[in-house]
Chain A
Amino acid sequence: MHKGTIHNRDKFLGNIADKLGRERKTNVSRPDWEHQPQWAVYQDHTRDELCALFHKNSEEKGTHVLETTMDQLEQTIVYVMETYGGAPMVATDDERFKAFGLNAVMATNDVHIWDAGSGSASIEQAKQANIGFLFSDASLAESGTITQFNGRNIARSVSLLPTTYAAIVPKSTIVPRMTQATATIHKHVDDGEDISPYINFITGPSNSADIEMNMVVGVHGPVKAVHIVVLDA
């Protein structure tokens, strides 16, 4: 990847240092913060309790939650397909569909698997789709939030353009809150790893209260949301 350009930096930062009454700093250590309330939230919750919390908080945001087992997952997916309008449908190009035994049900029901090589054709498929299927990478109990580490194959369009997004949420991905997810990302950065170009925390269907403060669900993103919690842990 080529390096991008940086314009006017030295003069700009020199002015800041002047105003702060010192020389430019070239090395700063982030302090150990005195206040870190985030780590105490749901600290003592068991995985079952966090799962119940994720369920409750997803529903609070208008998300339809289904709990299922690995054995019943395929059946649950079919139920979601029938309930939310069926084809056209789209799914991310994610190896976990195979690992969770879902390739057959996707193929049988004519779900378009995102094809980065086809470029805008896949975007068009997502735009037309009633349902977009995807996996959550980290699931936040506190708020009923799913997280996607998007990339070329785990496409953002799948959770954004269809009328309904249906996220498969392995119970093992549920953590207390954003704190644990961002700590993981911070560690990746610290270890010098590349992070996903598009890390998306998504909490239910899109909404707005811009007209006289009335809550309206379904603005530019999906109108409906489904979280399929798989009891894998």
Chain B
Amino acid sequence: MAMKIGEKPFFDRVDDALDDTFMRQSMANAQDGLRGKKIAATEGDEAIGDWENWRSAGEEIRRHTLENLDYYLEQLSENVAKRGGNVFFAETAEEANDYIQQVVKAKNAKNATKAKSMVTEEIGLNEALSEVGCQVHETDLAEYILQAEEDDRPSHIVVPSLHKNKSQIRDTLTEKAGYTGTDQPEELTAFARSQLRDVFMNADIGITGCNFGVAESGSVSLVTNEGNANMVTSYPETQISVMGMERLVPTWEDLDVMVNLLSRSAVGQKITTYVTNVTPDVGPESVDGPKDFHLVIVDGGRSKALGTEFQSALHCIRCAACVNVCPVYRHIGGHAYGSIYQGPIGAVLSPILGGYEEYGELPYASSLCAACTEACPVKIPLHEQLIRHREIYVEENYAEKSEKAAMTAFGIGASTPSLFKIATKGAPTFAKPFVHDGSISNGPGPMKLWTKIREFPAPGNENFRKWFQEHKKGDSRNA
């Protein structure tokens, strides 16, 4: 399944989402809740001083790390190996999966437990391990629910099961796992705890992602709340951690800053319940820790962003703060993006990792209001990158003919003063046949997609140039 979600074209997925009232309501509730908590824990928390200063600190660390990525990855791998861990650098998802399959086969492993990890979703690791006879048990509560549902995929980077309500969850667990209780979250959670206890203790392999690698010591840091990552990294004999190649910091001091930014931006907590830092110490003497450790570092298309205007997209720490303020995500939810990475960061990252052919329309899932850029704790200029993606999409001939024609016409019009004047002056007249009650509900050409979803205001009779000229004159009517 990997990175892609669903087979339908983008706008069909959007239509499906707009018809799903529960999903839209839960997205709105979740956004409001998460955004409120984030504000209280960031700008609203006087104790930490100026939040902007923290954002600048985060940006500074991420920028330096990415600019020197080869150096810090070498240091990380050297330190992991020094402590007996094994490191595999995978340029593609296939290389990563092949290596992990080899490890699993060599151990004749049949069961693996996994903590929530977007990069393992991205490479399709569960399917790859299933091919070699190893069943992967998802242990994060949300991922456990999605796995029980079969074929369901994450709709949010931090809360993957956001699109499911408690009754649906109860029904799924009743049908698939023999649950007999009510739809109370406490009861559902207690059931998952009881079901997974023995699974944790008996797994051959423990799989995690990596929130941050720490280069100076060869450590893998995991930022969680449920305790499942601790179980996964303690009882299986073999631990395999998979990290996106950009997810590291130079030192423990830098880890402190990044964990603070992540905890507060993602869930509005001063710190998550667990910040678990694994530095391999493998060997037969290990009692409640792995005897064998593998770190798989994945490129998976990330290097295509290096040295380009998209390099800072790799600064992302997967907090989903941009997702939680996006007005488009609020209406279409996560699955409409067709990628495991949703919202503004998903619309920036997915075309980089998966290409424009598959994900080139995602940058259009944005109103370009820049709320995402303002929310980002490491100051990624997301809305600017969305615009740049759109430009490339059109330049490289991926766009539909109508949009290309509109863009070309706009380009000519905007660069020719006389044509621009005619167009802006003439807009109210040209639009007249489509206007009903002051708005356009079934627009022509490039307006069609917009007006499918919402109404477009009819062009005013007074255009900006005219208003500006009069305002400049100091006309009292415009004061």
**Residues of A near any B CB (own CB < 8 A):** 1-9, 11-17, 19-21, 24-28, 30-31, 33-38, 40-42, 57, 61, 116, 119-120, 122-123, 127, 140, 142-143, 145, 152, 155-157, 160, 177-179, 181-183, 185-186, 189-190, 195-214, 216, 218-222
Contact = CB atoms under 8 A, between A and B. Distances in A.
Given A1-B83, A222-B227, A157 B141 contact: no
Given A14-B70, A157-B234, 16 more contacts: A16-B70, A19-B304, A21-B307, A28-B68, A28-B72, A30-B251, A127-B201, A195-B219, A200-B230, A200-B277, A201-B271, A201-B274, A203-B271, A208-B225, A212-B166, A220-B227
7 nearest A-B residue pairs (beta carbon): A221-B227, A197-B281, A206-B227, A12-B89, A19-B306, A35-B57, A220-B227
Given A4-B84, A222-B227, A30 B47 contact: no
Contact of B91 (A2, A15, A221): A15
Given A152-B287, A197-B279, A8 B89 contact: yes
A229 B372 CA distance: 42
Contact of A4 (B30, B47, B83): B83
Interface residues of B, number: 113
B270 A221 contact: no
Contact of B61 (A11, A33, A179, A220): A33
A41 B47 contact: yes
A39 to B, nearest CB: 10
Interface string B254-282: 11110110000001011111111111111
Contact of B256 (A7, A15, A179): A179
B159 A213 contact: yes
Interface string B72-89: 111001101111111111
Nearest to A178: B256
Contacts of A221: 226-227, 230-231, 273-274
Contacts of B85: 4
A201 B263 CA distance: 13
A25 B70 contact: yes
Given A1-B283, A195-B279, A211 B273 contact: no
A27 B71 CA distance: 7
Contacts of B190: 218
B89 A9 contact: yes
A220 B231 contact: yes
Interface in B415-441: none
A210 to B, nearest CB: 4
14 contacts: A17-B70, A42-B47, A145-B271, A178-B259, A178-B271, A189-B252, A197-B281, A197-B289, A198-B276, A199-B277, A201-B271, A202-B274, A214-B166, A220-B228
B280 A220 contact: no
Interface stretch (B4-12, B181-189, B454-462): B181-189
A7 B89 contact: yes
Contact of B70 (A24, A123, A196, A197): A24
Interface in B111-161: 139-142, 145, 159-161
B384 interface: no
Contacts of B274: 200-203, 206, 221
Contacts of B260: 38, 178
Interface of B: 26, 29-30, 33-34, 47-50, 53-54, 56-57, 60-61, 64, 67-74, 77-78, 80-91, 95, 99, 139-142, 145, 159-161, 165-166, 169, 185-186, 188-190, 192-193, 196-197, 200-201, 216-217, 219, 225-228, 230-231, 233-235, 245, 250-257, 259-260, 267, 269-283, 285-289, 293, 297, 299, 303-304, 306-307
A8 B87 CA distance: 9
A216 B283 contact: no
Contact of B303 (A16, A116, A185, A200): A16
Given A12-B299, A189-B217, A116 B29 contact: no
B226 A155 contact: no
Contacts of B77: 6, 9
A157 B233 CA distance: 11
B159 A210 contact: yes
Nearest to B99: A7
A182 B283 CA distance: 26
A85 B20 CA distance: 47
B186 A216 contact: yes
Contacts of B189: 208, 211, 216, 218-219
Nearest to B51: A37
B57 A36 contact: yes
A1 to B, nearest CB: 5
Nearest to B253: A186
Contacts of A8: 88-91, 95
Contact of A152 (B231, B233, B285): B285
Contacts of A218: 189-190, 193
Given A9-B87, A212-B26, A220-B200, A4 B81 contact: yes
B471 to A, nearest CB: 40
B191 to A, nearest CB: 11
A207 B83 contact: no
A66 B83 CA distance: 39
A8 B77 CA distance: 11
A214 B142 CA distance: 12
A212 B165 contact: yes
A210 B343 CA distance: 19
B255 A182 contact: yes
A175 B16 CA distance: 52
Contacts of B307: 19-21
A193 to B, nearest CB: 10
